[in-house]
């Protein structure tokens, strides 16, 4: 009985953005080689692309024969949600790479406001969710620079700012074309 590796075509069908570039044997038997790539418009999220079917019937990395994690890809444009919709007394001061994986967002408080919570810097990353039917979905997630005890990144909370007590914004009235004379009346 031959040990066969799991069908790479099934992995491609279950993972949007993954493309089977090369497969040396459609039978997926020991010694078969395969190459996975991200389709145009997608970027690698995690996993290995150069694979060899090992003697145990598991895909292994071609480079060092270590157990392989099959490539997963994510859509590269506008991965993370737009931050501007949930801002409270703050504004988006800068954003690198337009909400793509690896983007860094910097948030600041409006004039006359002080930070009361949340993160002033957020990083666009991705989170993979695997469903009970085996399919997976990658969603964009703004993350803080902190990690929980299991090593997972902690989602960022947008910077929240509160109006400083007694603050009155300056109001520009523009230039006057005519002199105004004020007369005070009364007691």
**What tokens were used for 79?**
């991965």
* Phi, psi at 149, each rounded to 5°: -65, -20
Element (H, E) at 14: helix 8-14
In contact, 99 and 78? CB cutoff 8 Å: yes
Of 129, 80, 122, 118, the closest CA to residue 101 belongs to 80
In contact, 104 and 120? CB cutoff 8 Å: no
Q: How far apart are CA 146 and CA 118, in angstroms?
A: 12
Element (H, E) at 51: strand 50-53
12: left (phi over 0), alpha (psi -120 to 50) or beta: alpha
The pLDDT tens digits along the chain (187 residues) read: 567 999 999 999 999 889 999 999 888 899 999 999 998 768 888 899 999 999 888 999 998 989 999 999 877 666 788 887 777 788 888 888 777 777 899 999 999 999 999 999 999 887 766 667 766 666 778 898 888 887 777 889 889 999 988 877 665 555 555 555 555 565 5
Could you give the domains of the chain? 8-75 (2.10.70.10), 83-163 (2.10.70)
Of 172, 171, 167, the closest CA to residue 111 belongs to 167
In contact, 121 and 105? CB cutoff 8 Å: yes
* Sequence-separated contacts (24+) of 144-152 with Cβ below 8 Å: 144/119, 145/121
pTM: predicted TM-score of the whole model, two decimal places: 0.49
């Amino acid at each position: 009985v031959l040990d066969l590796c799991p069908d790479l075509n099934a992995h491609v069908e279950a993972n949007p953005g993954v493309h089977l570039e090369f497969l040396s044997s459609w039978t997926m038997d020991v010694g078969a080689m395969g190459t996975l790539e991200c389709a145009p418009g997608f970027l690698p999220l995690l996993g290995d692309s150069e694979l060899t079917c090992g003697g145990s019937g598991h895909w292994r990395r071609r480079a060092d024969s270590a157990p392989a994690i099959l490539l997963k890809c994510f859509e590269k444009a506008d991965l993370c949600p737009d931050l501007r919709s949930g801002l409270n007394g703050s504004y988006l001061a800068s954003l690198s790479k337009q909400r793509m994986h690896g983007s860094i967002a910097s948030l600041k408080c409006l004039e006359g406001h002080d930070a009361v919570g949340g993160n002033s810097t957020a990083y666009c990353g991705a989170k993979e969710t695997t469903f009970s039917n085996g399919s997976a979905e990658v969603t964009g997630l703004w993350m803080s620079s902190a990690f929980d005890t299991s090593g997972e990144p902690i989602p960022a909370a947008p910077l929240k700012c509160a109006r400083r007590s007694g603050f009155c914004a300056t109001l520009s009235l523009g230039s006057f074309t005519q002199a105004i004379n004020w007369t005070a009346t009364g007691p």
